[in-house]
Amino acid sequence: MNKQTLLQNLRVVPDFPIPGIQFQDVTTLFRNPECLKIMREEVFRLYKDKGITKVVGLESRGFPLGCTLAADLNAGFVMARKPGKLPGEVIEQTYQKEYGEDKICMSSDAISSDDVLLLHDDLLATGGTMKAVYDLVKRFNPKKIYINFIIELTIEGLHGRDILDPDVEITTLLRI
């Protein structure tokens, strides 16, 4: 994988969304065809032989690559969304954020116990949202769960990987 190409095209936005944060903006990777191809091929290579039946993309930056990856893996795509965004019956998981509580939702019929899941999002920082999605999909009792991120932030004070299940295989394309 050409990590250098990805790093060169990753935009860092200082002081967003609050002062002191160096926001890692993956939208610049999605709009660059070479970067999109690199990410798509690398994540496919990691999971092509794992028997994935569904990819769960986290709102919203987990949708573009997650959906493409699902098609490449001949798997279904499931959206993990904020409350009020999905029609029909949903199940939800409440979780703590830095400044309060939030919820993540999925359609109640999205996953079965026969599924092998790949949970995908753009960035691992504190890990709270992914942990909530992981806890939510565990309720479906799937055969297996894998987790993937484009970027993992390894900045002091961020220990996102530490709150995730240590028995789950977690992969990232870039560690920053």
* Extents of the domains making up the chain: 50-175
Distance CA 85, CA 129 (A): 16
pLDDT band at 17 (very low <50, low <70, confident <90, very high): confident
Distance CA 130, CA 132 (A): 5
Active site residues: 61, 98
pTM (two decimals):
0.95
Give the domain 50-175 fold. Rossmann fold (3.40.50)
Taking 80 as the threshold, does the pLDDT of residue 156 lie above it? no
What is the predicted pLDDT for the residue at 175? 94
**Cα Dmax for the chain:** 45
Stretch 51-66: mean pLDDT: 96
Q: How many CA atoms lie within 13 A of 21 on its CB side?
A: 10
Work out the burial of residue 171: count CB atoms within 10 Å of its CB; fewer than 13 is exposed, 13-18 middle, 19 or more buried: middle
* % pLDDT > 70, the chain: 99
